[in-house]
Amino acid sequence: MAHPAASASTRTGASPPQPPASWRQRLGRWDMKASPYAYISPFFILFGLVGLFPLLYTAYVSLHDWDLIGGQGDFVGLDNFTFVLDQPVFWDSLGNTVSIFLLSTVPQIVIALVLASLLHANIRARTFWRMGVLLPYVIAPVAVSLIFSRMFADQSGLVNAVLGHLGVDPIGWHRDSMPAHIVIANMVNFRWTGFNTLVLLAAMQAISRDLYEAAILDSAGRMRQFFSVTVPSVRPTIIFVVITSTIGGLQIFDEPRLYDTQGLGGSSGQWKTITLYLYELGWNQQRLGRAAAVAWLLFLLIIVFALVSNWLSRRIASGDDPVAVPRKARRAARRDASGSAAGTPAFSASSGDTPGSNT
């Protein structure tokens, strides 16, 4: 906000002294000066209301003893943070969150990339298949959780019954951590793979055919085309998908909450994620101050993870391909021209305040 205001003031400063203007003239000038702010204000107001204010207010709450119903109590400084960091259950739930996040994000993006390139190729009934991959996304997460928790019930579930017929011992889908993480991650994959596929497909549609023709002339096979043309060309989109998945993956709530009827992550916290721990502190134990501290720790964690996955996905997606180098050069040139403002930080800056935009 500070930047445009500053440039506006320099403009007024530059204008020469004028004779006293009429009301109409003055109004016209005000219009010129004020209108742009009014036009762009909805974004800042919305951001302030739904992004910045809750963030700051949560920070304020986290520094107090705060009862869910009773409200504000004493100022306790960083006690809530030290309390939470001292709890083994916080670290366990952090581990569960990261485990579920990796089990969902990594396969999801790999499958989405492959699916997108298949859909991008010349196939029959293209629109049908493209709509088809989006179908799971339309199903409400609650419904997905209900179906999955029924299928993966420990004693009476369909999956264990099938495994039993194959002579495999039943798996404790709700008893053990890893199986529980796999099921929850697959609920996420079921819902989001199609969505990410379409995002990547849209990016692939924009790749110039010339690149493929050139690759074919150089006798590149399908695999080589995929890795050397398709993947590098959709790199910015991959980064977008990775980062939104990261944010969503770390905030995962619906799926683990509905995985059993208690909704607190299993009797020994087998699938308690950070958001479930937050919920437990705030709504079960009614300690909103501690819950707010967890919310802030989660916020910081998401920033760190978003930065890391941004860095990682750049690394992975660039590889040693021939296309990326000229692109990089082109971008560098563009950056020099526009005064280096429109560069990398756009993604990481917006990552913190888009709650649950994915997954």
Q: Which stretch binds another protein (CB under 8 A): 161-169, 174-182, 217-225, 318-326?
A: 174-182
**What is d(CA 218, CA 50) in angstroms, rounded to the nearest whole number?**
52
The interface with another protein within residues 26-45 (CB under 8 A) comprises 30, 33-34, 37-38, 41-42, 44-45
10 Å CB burial of residue 163 (0-12, 13-18, 19+) is middle
CB of 33 to another protein, least distance (A): 5
Task: Between 58 and 225, name the residue whose CB sits nearer to another protein.
Answer: 58
CB of 277 to another protein, least distance (A): 11
Residue 70 in the binding site for another protein (CB under 8 A): yes
Task: Between 153 and 316, name the residue whose CB sits nearer to another protein.
Answer: 153
On whether the CB atoms of residues 186 and 194 are closer than 8 A, the answer is no
CB of 178 to another protein, least distance (A): 13
Tell me which of 175, 314, 327, 331 binds another protein, using CB under 8 A: 175
Residue 262 in the binding site for another protein (CB under 8 A): yes
The interface with another protein within residues 4-23 (CB under 8 A) comprises 5, 9, 12
How many residues touch another protein under the rule CB under 8 A: the total is 44
Q: Cα dihedral sign for 164, 166, 167, 171? A: negative
Tokens of 245: 């998945």
Q: How many CA atoms within 13 Å lie on the side-chain side of 236?
A: 12
**What is d(CA 211, CA 217) in angstroms, rounded to the nearest whole number?**
10
Residue 316 in the binding site for another protein (CB under 8 A): no
CB of 163 to another protein, least distance (A): 16
Q: Where are the alpha helices (DSSP H) in 15-168?
A: 23-47, 53-62, 79-86, 88-120, 126-138, 141-151, 158-165
Residue 65 in the binding site for another protein (CB under 8 A): no
**What is d(CA 280, CA 258) in angstroms, rounded to the nearest whole number?**
14
Task: Between 243 and 292, name the residue whose CB sits nearer to another protein.
Answer: 292
Residue 155 in the binding site for another protein (CB under 8 A): yes
Residue 141 in the binding site for another protein (CB under 8 A): no
Q: Where are the alpha helices (DSSP H) in 206-323?
A: 209-217, 222-225, 231-233, 235-250, 254-257, 274-279, 288-318
**What is d(CA 67, CA 54) in angstroms, rounded to the nearest whole number?**
17
Q: Residues interacting with another protein, by CB under 8 A?
A: 5, 9, 12, 30, 33-34, 37-38, 41-42, 44-45, 49, 67-71, 87, 89, 149-150, 153-157, 172, 174-176, 260-264, 266-268, 283-286, 288
